[in-house]
Amino acid sequence: MTKTTIVIDYKPKSQEEEAPCAKVKIWDMFKYGMTTICLIYATIFAYLYFNQRNIVFLPSKGLLTPQAYDLDIAQDITLTTDDKLLLTAWHIKADEDQKTILYFHGNAGHIGNRSEKFKTFHRRGFGIFAVSYRGFGNSQGKPTEQGLYTDARTAMNYLLNELNLKPSDIVIYGESLGTGVAVQMATEYHTHALILEAPYTSIVNVAKHRYPYLPISLALKDRFESIDKIGSVASPIFIMHGHKDRIIPISNGMALLEAAKAPKEGKFFDNFGHLNFDFDVLADNTRNFVDRAGTMLVTETVKTNAQN
């Protein structure tokens, strides 16, 4: 029997020969990793873009009548917008010779959740007209920036045409999300005063604060650019903000105050955040500013004329 011998001629590869293969593997891993990261990034961006209005606007349903919130002094009113939507609004009459606050609420909850706040302001003599934005409470439609402006104009027109108030009888008050609506209305109507509680410079800047790794400015449809508008407001402006605000940093309120024209004042509180403002503190400071706003405007006008 003949033996067959197989000889394998094996010559180990040198380091120089193995190096290109290793480099290729590392490059392939790098490309795979970067592709994965880009896909994740694009997925997150696409989700935020197509769902942005569900993220920006957080409407609460289930608004009951004012009486259900122990607010017997309020009248339940239905408004009709120019685009034929029905909105809910509440009206509390002002004491004689007192101002009516046109109230634009924040994102969380609805106007029913602010019933105690309305009572607190009414105890200072103020009237309240609070409109529930489209999509919030029992109001029809879905919220958008332009839609909220339409709702606000509808409320303002009701005050002027149905309640026969003069612009000088009205104080525009914005809370959080509502501050963007309030600033826009104050550029269109010269009222007695503009009050801003925990305001933002723009929704874009708030979103950048929360999502610093995304090109938010390219994606947002509803921007509420208050920082670009507040310089056009002719009414006296009062801003209240808390140093502990983690939702809208206090730097927003300070920037708006800096950008606003005189007469203007700001009050920045050490002990308050975004959601825990003391209603009495808000109402007392609003009362104090509103009482002085007319005189402040006259003083500022005289000062401007003297400079010219």
- Tell me which H or E stretch contains 239: strand 237-242
CA distance 158 to 75: 14
Active site residue 241: no
Per the CB < 8 A criterion, the answer to whether 193 and 293 are in contact is yes
Look up 176 and say whether it is catalytic.
yes
Q: Is 49 exposed, middle or buried (0-12, 13-18, 19+ CB in 10 A)?
A: middle
Backbone angles phi and psi of 35, in degrees to 5 = -60, -40
Q: Please identify which of the residues 91, 110, 192, 274 carries the catalytic annotation.
A: 274
| H or E element that contains 268 | strand 264-269
> Are the beta carbons of 101 and 128 closer than 8 angstroms?
yes
Task: Say if residues 129 and 121 touch (Cβ distance below 8 Å).
Answer: no
Angle, helix 145-157 to helix 177-188, in steps of 10 degrees: 60
What SS3 class is residue 216? helix
Identify whether 274 is a catalytic site residue.
yes
Alpha helices in 201-246 (DSSP H): 203-210, 216-219, 226-229
Of the candidates 105, 122, 202, 245, the residue annotated as catalytic is 245
**Whole-angstrom distance, CA of residue 233 vs CA of residue 210:** 28
Question: Which among 132, 176, 202, 235 is annotated as catalytic?
Answer: 176
Burial status of residue 301 (CB atoms within 10 A of its CB: 0-12, 13-18, 19 or more): exposed
Residues belonging to the active site: 176, 245, 274
